[in-house]
A and B are shown apart, each in its own frame.
Chain A
Amino acid sequence: MSAVFDLADLQGNILRGYRKPHVRYLILEVADRIAARRWLAASISGRDHGVPQITTGNWGAVKPDTCFNIGLTYEGLRALGTSSSSLEMFPNEFIEGMTARALKLGDVGPSAPETWPSPFDEPGRIHIIATIYAGDVGQLDQVQQRALDRNALTLLGTREGYNFRDDFVHFGYRDNIMQPRFEGVHDPQRHADGQPRAPLGTVLLGHPTNLEGLTWRVPQPAALGHNGTFNAFRVLKQDVVAFEEYLDQAASDLLEHAQVDELLPPDAEAKIGQVMSVEGRHGALREIVAANLCGRWRDGTPLALSADAPDPNVNRANFDYDRESRCPYGAHIRRCNPRGGQIVQRVANNSRRLVRRGMPYGPAYDPAKRDRDKPEPERGLLGNFIGASLGAQFEAMSCDWLNLGLQDPRITGSNDPIVGANDPKTSWFDLPLKSGRTIRLRELPRFVWTRGGAYTFLPSLSAIRFLGSQMM
């Protein structure tokens, strides 16, 4: 990976992922301002004992064994003694914090911040979220021990995730397929995906954005703001049992539907069965429903390229939504990123893209081991949604696209079928048929619940140096 600017000034997980199998988040409160600043200075000192060193974007030829990064909340910047003239240049949504934006994010009812468990029940105390990536849990423990300086920081809580085999995630889909490719950044891991390269300002403050002529405010001094970015950290609980039961129910209903043969042509059943290892017509219909809700078959095949059955031979990344596309307008991946497809807010095509870094938490669901007498263990996704403007990217996508469906009149008034705040009394989702007609699914429950989170600022290395200096 090479770039026209200094990669060593960026934290390492912004422009590319580490692809380590284990992650742990340390949720920290500043206990002592001076000691915490010293801790920040030590994290970029270049000494490899004591405080773990921040992994930069320029990690050289060999990926480090463990990676360490930090994000700061607004309260954290305050606790570190950042001047008020700098603080007031941060955007409103970051200053207010994730909990104040609950309605925009669909964090209502049992997802509301008032219901979040510790440490997210006291958002004002969350100052720093440090992230450790490693090959195994032993390494996580070691780095955590080095990171915790009792004089400087109080550990409020941790969250831990790990990768499943072949990048599958809890609902059984293959993830980790798409990330934006950036102008001026050569990344040999990413190939053409049918989308324009994102300007650097999509993800870094102080660079041109996707909205022509528009720039986001860079908190001053430049050492603090330039090359920084924002992260929406989310703990998203996934109800796999409800999801699988919904697929069962929808498949049973569809078997009785008059147009089922158009949805599942006779020759497709065998192919779906073969690729997805499922049996019979009911099994195939379950996969069709799962594929339509997401916009990808669970093996990652985009519906835009192969609508009748999954195809392991297609390029999973390179496609677009044209008029003939049979990817539902309301499918999850199409709502999050409508690519070049027609949308209402024409100016917004490609402008709300996000870098996503996430890993599952909790045990994988195994129907054979399910004990109906006991509650299922909590499982879900530890997600990071990174962009230079939380308001113009993460929030804009969450409220207008995921939970209102404003981008297309055919889905307006419905929520995202997978991550949306669905209420079975009003929810609906249209399965498109070849003829252009649709079959409407109803009574989708909410499958994903927010159980914590925070907006953080991911400072550049210069900013960490600035914040760590005693001269501030």
Chain B
Amino acid sequence: MSSDEGLLDRFVDRLPKNPLFKRVASWTLVPFWARWTPVKPLPGGPHLAFEPGDNLQCMMNLIMPLKIKSPIGRAEAALAIAQNKDAIYAGLNNVGTVHFARFVIVGDNICMFSVYDGDFTNYIRDFIATIGSVFNAVVELVEGGDDVVPCEENVEAFIQWVHERDLYQVPDTATDFLRDQEALNGDKAASGNDNLTLLPRNMVLQLRANANVSLGSGYRAYPGFSVAQVRKQLRIGW
């Protein structure tokens, strides 16, 4: 096949690998593309699936900018988690569908990463019902959080607020990514105009619109099991 390619084809194909070209493209080409073909940020959370096993051990990745961007703000966030440790354990125990919940401070953001079973809205709603006070303590430190606390009185708005902050999970295959992008634009036919051997333009533009994403939906060393299946198998009660 390479013998059919002209000199120009080969030159263009090599361009994306050239450091100088990459830099120039980031400054000029990408903003131009973005104006030419505006891209909406793709919605976050796991990809809707119907096979039961696909709906276990789903990932939630929240990166929430703190209101107070200083060591004091970060310390407040650290304290909010430490002071609520017991409530968090009680919540995990009573909600019963969350494998792990992790809180991390990166820059002036508090990040909440969790692995849960089943439907996202049910997970958040059950947590609000069980330990809404913990959500309130964290979210009131976050930009835009005042609009949705106390979460107990703003259930629908709070769930939506969290969903909007849940990172887009970039599919592992470029075709799935392009399918998401087309679905968002209401386009069901495959576009066919993206060369999947190169860095797809749509992916560059999506990462411009949506700077923080999750790569893949988490990789497991074993098939999906629910929290209760694990606990039952280990005989620690569920």
A133 CB to nearest chain B CB (Å): 32
Q: Does B142 contact A (CB under 8 A)?
A: no
Q: Which of A103, A346, A409 contacts B94 (CB 8 A)?
A: A346
B50 touches A345 (CB 8 A): no
What is the chain B residue whose CB lies nearest that of A391? B121
Residues of chain A within 8 A of B119, CB atoms compared: 104, 395-396, 399-400
Q: Are A217 and B157 in contact (CB under 8 A)?
A: yes
A413 within 8 A of B: yes
Q: Are A413 and B52 in touch, CB under 8 angstroms?
A: yes
Asked if A92 and B55 sit within 8 Å, CB to CB, the answer is no
B96 near A106 with CB under 8 A, answer no
Chain B residues near A368: list those with CB within 8 A: none
Q: A406 near B: Cβ within 8 Å?
A: yes
- Enumerate A383-408 residues with CB–CB distance to B below 8 Å: 391-392, 395-396, 399-400, 403-406, 408
Number of interface residues of A (CB under 8 A): 38
B residues near A92, Cβ cutoff 8 Å: 156, 160
| Chain B residues within 8 Å of A406, by CB | 97, 117-118, 226, 228
CA distance A414 to B52 in the complex (A): 7
A217's partner among B96, B122, B126, B154 (CB-CB below 8 A) is: B154
Q: Which of B39-60 contact A (CB under 8 A)?
A: 48-50, 52-53, 55-56
In the assembled complex, B227 has its CB within 8 A of some CB on chain A: yes
Within residues 137 to 192 of chain B, which ones have a CB less than 8 A from any CB in chain A? 152-157, 159-160
Q: Which residues of A contact B122 (CB under 8 A)?
A: 345, 348, 392, 396, 399-400
Contacts of B155 in A (CB 8 A): 214-217, 392
In the complex formed, the residue of B with least CB distance to A348 is B126
The CA of A213 and the CA of B130, in the complex, are separated in Å by 10
Task: Output the least CB separation between A470 and chain B (Å).
Answer: 31
Contact with B along A76-113 (1 / 0, CB 8 A): 00000000000000011000000000011010100000
A366 at the interface (CB under 8 A from B): no
Residue B129 at the A interface, CB < 8 A? yes
- Give chain A residues whose Cβ lies under 8 Å from the Cβ of B64: none
Bound-complex Cα distance A214 to B128 (A): 8
Within 8 Å by CB of B227, from A216, A344, A348, A400, lies A344
* B96 surroundings in chain A (CB, below 8 A): 343-346
B99 at interface (Cβ–Cβ under 8 A)?
no
Which residues of chain A from 209 to 261 have any CB-CB distance to chain B below 8 Å in the complex?
211-217
Nearest CB on A from B28, distance (A): 39
We find that the number of chain B residues with CB closer than 8 angstroms to chain A is 38
- Contacts A213-B152, A406-B226, A412-B56: A347 and B117 contacting too (C-beta < 8 A)? no
Q: Are A217 and B156 in contact (CB under 8 A)?
A: yes
Q: Is B238 an interface residue (CB 8 A)?
A: yes
Query: Quick one: closest B residue to A104, CB to CB?
Result: B119
Interface centre among A92, A351, A421 (most CB of B within 10 A): A92
In the complex, whether A415 has a CB less than 8 A from a CB of chain B is: yes
Complexed CA–CA distance, A408 and B227 (Å): 10
Q: Nearest residue in A to B157 (C-beta to C-beta)? A: A217
Choice from A104, A347, A413, A415 contacting B126 with Cβ under 8 Å:
A347
Contacts of A409 in B (CB 8 A): 226, 228-229, 231-232, 238
Interface of chain A residues 337 through 380 with chain B (CB within 8 A): 343-348, 351
Q: Is the CB of B129 within 8 A of A212?
A: yes
Q: Chain B nearest CB: distance from A230 CB in Å?
A: 12
B160: nearest chain-A partner, CB-CB: A92
Q: How far is the CA of A331 from the CA of B190 in the complex (A)?
A: 42
Q: Is the CB of A413 within 8 A of B238?
A: no
- Per the bound structure, the CA–CA distance linking A91 and B157 in Å amounts to 9
| B residues 53-97 touching A (CB-CB < 8 Å) | 53, 55-56, 94-97
CB contact list, B98-149 vs A, under 8 A: 117-119, 121-122, 125-126, 128-130, 132
Q: What separation, in Å, do the CA atoms of A414 and B53 have in the docked complex?
A: 9
Instruction: Give min CB distance, A89 to chain B, whole Å.
Output: 9
Task: Report Cα–Cα, A395/B125, bound state, in Å.
Answer: 13
Contact at A345–B126, with CB atoms within 8 Å?
yes
Measured in the bound complex, the distance between the Cα atoms of B129 and A216 in whole Å is: 12
Q: How far is the CB of A114 from chain B (nearest CB, A)?
A: 10
A12 to B: closest C-beta gap in Å: 28
Chain B positions within 8 Å of A405 at CB level: 52
Interface pair B50/A412, CB less than 8 Å apart: no
By a CB distance below 8 angstroms, the chain A residues around B130 are: 347
- Please give the distance in Å from B132's CB to the nearest CB on chain A: 7
Q: Are A412 and B52 in contact (CB under 8 A)?
A: yes
Query: B156, A404: Cβ atoms under 8 Å?
Result: no
Give Cα distance in the complex from A403 to B226, angstroms.
Answer: 14
Query: Which of chain A's residues has its CB closest to B153's CB?
Result: A215
CB within 8 Å for A392 and B154 given contacts A103-B50, A346-B96: no
Could you say which residues of chain B place their CB within 8 Å of the CB of A91?
156
Q: How far is the CB of B46 from chain A (nearest CB, A)?
A: 11
For B128, the chain A residues whose CB sits under 8 A away are 211, 214
B129 near A214: Cβ-Cβ < 8 Å = yes
Q: How far is the CA of A57 from the CA of B118 in the complex (A)?
A: 37
Chain A nearest CB, measured from B92 CB (Å): 11
Interface string of A410-446 (1 = CB under 8 A from B): 1011110000010000000000000000000000000
Which residue of the partner chain A has the closest CB to B91? A347
Q: Is the CB of B97 within 8 A of A345?
A: yes
Q: Indicate which residue in A106, A108, A399, A408 contacts B228 across the interface (CB closer than 8 Å).
A: A408
21 chain-A/chain-B pairs, Cβ below 8 angstroms? A91-B156, A92-B156, A92-B160, A106-B50, A213-B152, A217-B156, A344-B238, A345-B96, A345-B97, A345-B126, A346-B95, A347-B126, A391-B125, A392-B125, A396-B119, A396-B122, A404-B52, A406-B97, A406-B117, A409-B231, A421-B50
Given contacts A348-B126, A396-B125, 14 further A-B contacts (CB under 8 A): A104-B48, A211-B128, A214-B125, A216-B155, A343-B96, A344-B226, A351-B129, A396-B121, A396-B122, A404-B52, A408-B228, A409-B231, A409-B232, A413-B53
| Minimum-distance CB pairs A-B, first 4 | A409-B228, A344-B96, A211-B129, A409-B229
